[in-house]
Structure 1
Amino acid sequence: MFRARLVLALAGAALSASPVLAQDASSLPLSQPLPEAPQVLLLSQDRLFSGTLYGKAVQARIEEASRGLQAENRRIEADLEAEERALTEQRKTLPPDEFRTLAEAFDAKVEGIRAAQEAKARSITQDRETERQRFFETAVPILAELMAEQGAVAIIDKNAVILSFDRIDITDTAIARIDAKLGDGSALPE
């Protein structure tokens, strides 16, 4: 149950869609002293993912796939433009019914290609989300160790907090620990 709550807290969306004023409260006057060990820790999920070797490797693979798809789209577009020009030239010499049949076939081909390319783009986006989820699932034991070392009972995404003390933000420590234990993620089993 503890692990499930931690996974939900780490993998869940921020509580607010509007910009949050996450500020350091260290300079504010306090009426009571702070406890020795904070019970709640903060973590920036986005920065944790993008700041680790694992997250950077995932992002590099996604960017490479996106660039490959963009290049493929440009090639396809150039081919289709050439085919459309050739079809336009044929219009001058073909009977209207024959041209209409060729034009409809060309339109159907374009729609099919468009649907296929959009499916590839969605697949890349889905791959990124799957890899991000896998990263957080793999990082949970490391984050649990950090939480236990700090004597905390919870880790909350920093974007869901309005005011906090910087000393309870463990993102940098978590990045270093995850890099040390997971590296770029390539050695993990599928």
Structure 2
Amino acid sequence: MRKAKPGLWSALGLALALSCTGALSLRAQEIPAIGGADFQLGLPQSGILTIQPDRLFSESAFGRRAEREIEAEGAVLTAENRRIEAELRSEELELTERRSEMEPEAFRALADAFDQKVQETRRRQDQKLREITQMGEEARREFIKASLPVLQQIMQEAGAGAILDHSSVFLSAEAADITSLAIARIDAVLGDGAADEDGER
């Protein structure tokens, strides 16, 4: 579940491009450079910055925590599916063994009921899988929303007008990639995000 939805990251890029002049809550320390210009330590001065969205999420403390939780939910569902599969197999075997002792109509009624049970069980388990997938999508949306002020601040410090998805840029200097810097700053602000989710930790 580590792949980002293209629409989510496209929305992020658009939001950043449109809000580069907006009011920002974070302040970074600045040092004067030769020639009177102001530069940030470790930050490229560029009109266009790039970022690796998948890495930004998966290597952040927030993303690692979210993915651990999703993997745990997936493991529980996998174990549950295996248990249910074993139960249904046993029930199917028992029904097959009884076939020779039953009238055809009676057997057909039991077989139809069993088939309906299997289909309903599959729908229920598929819904649980969709809910786990939705957890991942919601975590990414929450991460984008919470990270936006940090990325806006980096844009302001770099004097950039946009942050683009690194994979969509044909040619750029490596110095323009701010993924590692963004991860460090987002981690400093968000941590793993667990306290924000339940408000009690």
Which of the five TM-score ranges fits, normalised by the shorter chain? 0.7 to 0.9
Residue number in structure 2 paired with 1:138: 146
Residue of structure 2 aligned with 1:51, choices 59, 63, 75: 59
Q: Is the 8 Å Cα contact of residues 60 and 186 (structure 2) preserved in structure 1?
A: yes
Residue of structure 2 aligned with 1:38, choices 37, 46, 62: 46
Pairwise mapping of residues 106-121 of structure 1 onto structure 2 (< 5 A)? 106-121=114-129
**Partners of 1:121 and 1:10 in 2: how far apart?**
29
State TM-score, norm by structure 2: 0.77
- Overall identity of the aligned pairs, in %: 44
SS of structure 1 residue aligned to 2:101? coil
Residue number in structure 1 paired with 2:4: none
CA drift of 1:140 comes to 0.2
Q: Structure 2: any 5+ residue segments left out of the alignment?
A: 1-8, 16-43
CA drift of 1:7 comes to 7.6
CA drift of 1:59 comes to 0.6
**What RMSD, in angstroms, separates the aligned Cα atoms of the two structures?**
1.8
**Partners of 1:93 and 1:138 in 2: how far apart?**
65
Deviations 1:29-68 (A, max 9, x none): xxxxxxx820111001100000100000111111111111
- Give the AA of the match of 1:131: A
CA drift of 1:175 comes to 0.4
Q: Structure 1: any 5+ residue segments left out of the alignment?
A: 1-5, 13-35
SS of structure 2 residue aligned to 1:173? helix
Residue of structure 2 aligned with 1:8, choices 6, 11, 26: 11
Q: Is the 8 Å Cα contact of residues 139 and 178 (structure 1) preserved in structure 2?
A: yes
- Give the AA of the match of 1:109: K
1:183 aligns with 2:191: yes
- Give the AA of the match of 1:59: E
CA drift of 1:159 comes to 1.3
State TM-score, norm by structure 1: 0.81
1:104 aligns with 2:112: yes
1:173 aligns with 2:181: yes
Residue number in structure 1 paired with 2:69: 61
**Partners of 1:11 and 1:119 in 2: how far apart?**
32
- What is the number of equivalent residue pairs in this alignment? 162
**Deviation >6 Å, runs of 4+:** none
**Partners of 1:9 and 1:189 in 2: how far apart?**
21
Higher RCO, Cα 8 Å, sep 6+: 1
